[in-house]
Structure 1
Amino acid sequence: MEKVKMLHVDHKSQQPIYQQIYEQIKRDILMGNLPIGMRITSTRALAKELQIGRNTVENAYAQLVLEGYLTNVASSGYVVNNLQFNLNQKTGEKTTTNKETAVTSNRRIEPVRYNFQYGNLDAASFPNKLWRKYLTDILDSGETQDVHSYGDVKGDIELRIQLKEYLYRNRGVNCKPEQIVICSGTQSALEIMIKIFPYTKKQVAMEEPCYNGASVIFRSNGFEILPIPVYEDGIGINELSSSSARMVHIAPSHQFPMGVVMPIHKRIKLLNWAQEHDSIIIEDDYDSEFRYHGRPIPALQSIDEHERVIYVGTFSKALSPGLRMAYIILPKWLLPKYQERFIGHQCTVPLIEQKIMARFMADGYWEKHIRKICLSQKKKHDILINAIKDNIGDKVRIHGHQAGLHILLEFLNGQKEEELVQKALEHKVKVCPVTPFWLNKQNYKKNFLVLGYGMMAEEDIPEAVKALSQAWFS
């Protein structure tokens, strides 16, 4: 068994130990100190070496797997992936290309042909011509000086006005432009919330399983996370009420990764809990536009009469993750604390991108784009569901369909995700494990996989599912 270099953990640091391990291993991989194909220390051995809990090490490794630095190879352990670049590369050194393969100690990892990575869109869906046109128009207009200034800390006022109107029409969200803050992604929005957190005890309840991009932010800011189970109709209200949390992070319109939708009666119970306990609900509405039957479900914020909901939305899912543009809508009572905490700060999203987005929305192209993307993704969704039914049939149960950009497969014959991911890779198909989304991993049966179809071409989906059927059930 190969080993990583000596790791150091600081038990007095505010940074969680799993995050310290993650950062050190990631840095060594990026700098080339851990070469491609190298097997690193097992979770059990590293936990014993550092005298810490094994779950802590597993959390660090799971994040590294999720981000593509490591692969968990069945019967071989964790190995370093081919990142196809080297930050420490010297002039004249040969760079590994996409066509080359990374070699583990006992098997080859071939490049994938079909990629079911969740959260990404096909690059062809981006409105390149319009974006270039608006960029040119802005640079040639009287707004040139504006885009060379710092602008408002909350973001461009025209974009916030457009957002207010769009969200009211399509999500029922009630707000004023001064309540909207433009920020660089959902994690940036959560950082804002954490900085104005009004309670003494740093605790947050989260759905179990949950969006781990949020849990990472809370952990790195010293929050204790209280896992609350997700049922077929959403988060467990009884368990939430029994907890000591004063804040909960949820995705009621399409929970990630389970895909469940919270019905109206449970939304009312959740709002009543927040009112009775003087608590905050963070509503993550990350892919609310993608509903394939009926209109999008009104936001939880739209029925909140007591300003207990902080609404978080993003342009990433329907436009481009690389744009790094999201927004947070604060209740009026939190605005003074925001102003106090962020005085002297600057908006984290380039002003020129905000102005392009404002024009894109004002001219009606955003809603046209949403309709076009939604239609395209519905076609992919339907093809994927039909292909699974035709090729895999009763061997799996499908969760979270009819909305979003991913589905969840539950395997009914005892197969585990680690083996399933590896077999798929051997057939040149990438699928994603669910383990990283669990806070208490010992409660997870490890028989689920995530299939995202945003990046897939329609014509590739049937062949990809056939390849998965061969990989898993031949």
Structure 2
Amino acid sequence: MKELVFNVDRNSTLPMYQQVYRYIKAQIISGKIAENSKLPSVRQLAELLQVSRNTTQLGYEQLQAEGYIRSEFKKGYYVQASILELLSISKTTPHTKASSKNIVNPTIDFQAGAVDGINFPLVKWRNLSNKVLKDNLIYQYGENQGDLLLRESLAKYLFQSRGVRATSDQIVIGSTTQQLLTILSILLKKEHTQIAVEDPGYNGARELFSLQSYSVVPIPVNEDGIDITHLEKCNARLVYVTPSHQFPLGITMPINERYNLIEWAEKVNGYIIEDDYDSEFRYKQQPIPSLQSLTNSEHIIYLGTFSKALLPSIRLSYLVLPKEILIRYHQIASLLQQTASTLHQRTIHHFIEKGHWYAHLRKMKTIYKQKMKVLCDTIQMHFKDTVKIIGGSSGIYIVIEVVTKQSEKWLVKEALKNGVKVYPCSPFYMENFPSYPTIQLGFAGLEELEIRKGIEKLADAWLNIE
């Protein structure tokens, strides 16, 4: 496929896998590669570009994580049709065509869901995967609840790292947070018609419960996380929260509020869905214990994922169910096929047991801490009091509040004109919108030089404009 042949710059500060990712992405966006087109294999592309397979593999995985391509089992990689439909923003009218000349393909993408793929221990992962491929397990359908060995490893890891008390039987493995929330919505539906959610909060969760015919009740978020006083005033007995790293504001719920939230659940005989999102990456203090670790209460459902610490394409999340909900799960478990890769499940088990997981987390925490510092320092240098940084002590993204008369939409558009893609926070709000526009900036997938350059471009785009 000649459209994929280009000169990889081996002297560039931009990693080669990022060059591959960006080039293919640009070809897809421009329409030079048609929808549903089959892409060369990892090996073929590596030979075409004269780079390592590791480079092309990481490039493909980033494209897949962002939805530009899809992987079909035993067939290979294909361009995702739905992406091209979304990208074909109006070639229909002269007005649209004229305005599109001002929009350039972003050279720096502050995507919150991206990770640092260049530091992923691919050799160790591949060796463990090859070991698993020699096991007869790979030729069988996996357990609906998830691989038993992984559940046993997870039970030990969660207790050591987050204080979560769970047996392997209480753990349910799935591919994504959304898939596991779908299962929960089915298990809880008989006795719950309402669910309280953080406002702002993770829109993927609230939209999923809404699709399952739940009435979604927005609860304001204050400096301590979800406002429990407001929660107590609503009729919901089910709440979805992100107490360790509130999405999207990055707030950590203090210990006294955690006990207050647990007390609320016990009082109303309800459930807390604790999404321990981004809890691995804290840079200024030790993590506060999970809600589940603070009590013997059967009112907490614990939810976690590996995707932010590994690679988005290794799609694997997990639930820890209290006993009553576990009974309901086993009643319908035969209807719930496992969606997580059996190969990935067993590979992660070995990855944990051999100590690679802990070493990887330590390494990435150091790398992300430095990237966070570079991002915050560069913002403060260029914007000073014009921008307020929110959530700058944990996670792999920050939120900035921009003191301006301009709209959030204008900020996003002007950034894109300058070759930078940033993300609006308005989709995360239901009612309690902030006074100034807020923007989400992910940094994990960018090099330090890209972070600095990106913020400089934002300053050029946003400052000194009435």
TM-score grouping bracket, smaller chain normalisation? 0.7 to 0.9
Task: Please say if residues 254 and 260 of structure 1, whose CA atoms lie closer than 8 Å, have aligned partners that are also in contact.
Answer: yes
Q: Distance in 2 between matches of 1:188 and 1:350?
A: 14
> 1:305 Cα deviation (Å)?
2.2
1:106 to 91, 99, 103: 99
> Can you list the C-alpha shifts for 1:36-64, whole angstroms capped at 9, x where unaligned?
xxxxxxxxxxxxxxxxxxxxxxxxxxxxx
1:465 aligns with 2:455: yes
Q: Distance in 2 between matches of 1:146 and 1:87?
A: 34
Task: Please say if residues 145 and 333 of structure 2, whose CA atoms lie closer than 8 Å, have aligned partners that are also in contact.
Answer: no
Q: Distance in 2 between matches of 1:174 and 1:324?
A: 24
Matches for 1:196-215 after TM superposition, within 5 Å: 196-197=187-188, 199-215=190-206
Q: Distance in 2 between matches of 1:384 and 1:446?
A: 21
2:318 to 309, 327, 349: 327
Aligned-residue RMSD, C-alpha: 2.4
> 1:294 Cα deviation (Å)?
2.4
> Can you list the C-alpha shifts for 1:367-387, whole angstroms capped at 9, x where unaligned?
111111111111100000100
> Can you list the C-alpha shifts for 1:213-257, whole angstroms capped at 9, x where unaligned?
111211111111000000011111111011011110000011011
> 1:358 Cα deviation (Å)?
0.3
SS at match of 2:288: coil
Equivalent position of 1:190 in the other structure: 181
SS at match of 2:197: strand
1:289 aligns with 2:283: no
1:433 to 404, 416, 424: 424
The alignment's TM-score, normalised by the length of structure 1, stands at 0.77
Task: Please say if residues 126 and 319 of structure 1, whose CA atoms lie closer than 8 Å, have aligned partners that are also in contact.
Answer: yes
Equivalent position of 1:18 in the other structure: none
Cα gap change, 1:172 to 1:86, in 2 (>3 Å): closer
How many residue pairs get aligned? The number is 383
Cα gap change, 1:213 to 1:459, in 2 (>3 Å): same
2:145 to 154, 157, 160: 154
Q: Distance in 1 between matches of 2:208 and 2:334?
A: 22
SS at match of 1:281: strand
> 1:153 Cα deviation (Å)?
1.4
Equivalent position of 1:42 in the other structure: none
Matches for 1:395-406 after TM superposition, within 5 Å: 395-406=386-397
> 1:344 Cα deviation (Å)?
4.5
Matches for 1:336-355 after TM superposition, within 5 Å: 336-355=327-346
2:407 to 416, 428, 432: 416
Cα gap change, 1:192 to 1:344, in 2 (>3 Å): closer
Task: Please say if residues 150 and 346 of structure 1, whose CA atoms lie closer than 8 Å, have aligned partners that are also in contact.
Answer: no
> 1:343 Cα deviation (Å)?
2.5
Equivalent position of 1:379 in the other structure: 370
1:266 to 257, 275, 286: 257
Q: Distance in 2 between matches of 1:344 and 1:217?
A: 20
Q: Distance in 2 between matches of 1:179 and 1:210?
A: 27
Task: Please say if residues 206 and 227 of structure 1, whose CA atoms lie closer than 8 Å, have aligned partners that are also in contact.
Answer: yes
Equivalent position of 2:446 in the other structure: 456
1:106 maps to a residue whose letter is S
> Can you list the C-alpha shifts for 1:12-37, whole angstroms capped at 9, x where unaligned?
xxxxxxxxxxxxxxxxxx9x9xxxxx
Task: Please say if residues 159 and 165 of structure 2, whose CA atoms lie closer than 8 Å, have aligned partners that are also in contact.
Answer: yes
1:239 aligns with 2:230: yes
| Higher alpha-carbon deviation: 252-261 or 293-302 | 293-302
Q: Which 5+ residue runs of structure 2 have no aligned equivalent? A: 1-28, 32-65, 69-78, 89-95
Task: Please say if residues 117 and 452 of structure 1, whose CA atoms lie closer than 8 Å, have aligned partners that are also in contact.
Answer: yes
Task: Please say if residues 292 and 374 of structure 1, whose CA atoms lie closer than 8 Å, have aligned partners that are also in contact.
Answer: yes
> Can you list the C-alpha shifts for 1:306-363, whole angstroms capped at 9, x where unaligned?
1111000000110011111000000012111001122243321121111101000000
Matches for 1:363-374 after TM superposition, within 5 Å: 363-374=354-365
1:122 aligns with 2:116: yes
The alignment's TM-score, normalised by the length of structure 2, stands at 0.78
> 1:201 Cα deviation (Å)?
4.0
Q: Which 5+ residue runs of structure 1 have no aligned equivalent? A: 1-29, 33-66, 70-83, 90-94, 96-102
> Can you list the C-alpha shifts for 1:150-204, whole angstroms capped at 9, x where unaligned?
2321111111111111111111111111000000110011011111105434210
2:336 maps to a residue whose letter is H
> 1:68 Cα deviation (Å)?
9.0
1:407 aligns with 2:401: no
Q: Distance in 2 between matches of 1:446 and 1:395?
A: 11
Cα gap change, 1:154 to 1:85, in 2 (>3 Å): closer
Task: Please say if residues 434 and 446 of structure 1, whose CA atoms lie closer than 8 Å, have aligned partners that are also in contact.
Answer: no
1:139 to 116, 133, 138: 133
Q: Distance in 1 between matches of 2:439 and 2:244?
A: 21
Task: Please say if residues 388 and 465 of structure 1, whose CA atoms lie closer than 8 Å, have aligned partners that are also in contact.
Answer: yes
> 1:107 Cα deviation (Å)?
3.3
Q: Whose helix fraction is larger, Structure 1's or Structure 2's?
A: 2
> 1:139 Cα deviation (Å)?
2.2
Q: Distance in 2 between matches of 1:180 and 1:186?
A: 14
